[in-house]
Amino acid sequence: MLDPRQADEIPGDVDPALRQEVAHTTANVIVQQGRAAEDPDLVDRLVRLVETEGLDTVAAMWADSAPNTLPGALWRLYVLRSWVLRDPQTVAERYRMGVVRAEVHDAVAGVVSPPGPQDVSRLVDAVLSGVFVGDLAVALERAAAFCRVLATGAAFDADHVEDRDTDLARTLTHGASALVRTAEELEHAASLWRSGHLD
């Protein structure tokens, strides 16, 4: 049996309160520094944070943060960017499918028409840049609109493959649902930022 002093010395996971404090502090510092510097090179480095630091490092900082917080919103933006950069062809195809029924969201997202793989990659970079050089709420709303168009495209894609592959159709439907949820979370974060309550 360990005495209490020995038990306290066993390394464990980081205290959840400390983890949240670190998440909020790092998110606020990154956004404030990016916005204050007015330095295009710094903004470019912040946009490419996942490439330089790794998705696991960024996840360790922010992945557990609630979506109605600044670190939670940033995490969603960086994950969205990582997905687009990993598979721009599929994202562009889904976007083209979704834009037919989501014209308003397409206008908010601001993707060229018809978008190709490079266009969707440029959009996510522009959205993330907007966090540091523009109106953060607008950047979050553009990302949300982008997610809504992609969700519509994924739902259409699910309809097209359902007869041939029900498992794939189910996966696409779940993906569409997750994109809608992400869009709602980003829209809520934008509203909180505008009211001064996104921390």
**Could you report the per-residue pLDDT of 184-197, keeping only the tens digit for each?**
999 999 999 999 99
Phi and psi torsions of 48, nearest 5° = -95, 20
Task: Report pLDDT for 7.
Answer: 46
**Could you report the per-residue pLDDT of 142-167, keeping only the tens digit for each?**
999 999 999 999 999 999 999 999 99
**Could you report the per-residue pLDDT of 60-103, keeping only the tens digit for each?**
999 999 999 999 999 999 999 999 999 999 999 999 999 988 88
Crossing angle for the helix pair 117-133 and 40-47, to the nearest 10 degrees: 120
**Could you report the per-residue pLDDT of 113-146, keeping only the tens digit for each?**
889 999 999 999 999 999 999 999 999 999 999 9
Of the pLDDT bands very low, low, confident and very high (cuts 50, 70, 90), residue 14 is: low
Of the pLDDT bands very low, low, confident and very high (cuts 50, 70, 90), residue 9 is: low
Question: What is the number of alpha carbons within 13 Å of residue 39 lying toward its C-beta?
Answer: 10
Task: Report pLDDT for 154.
Answer: 96
Domain extent listing, the chain: 13-194
Task: Note whether 168 and 38 are within 8 A (CB).
Answer: no
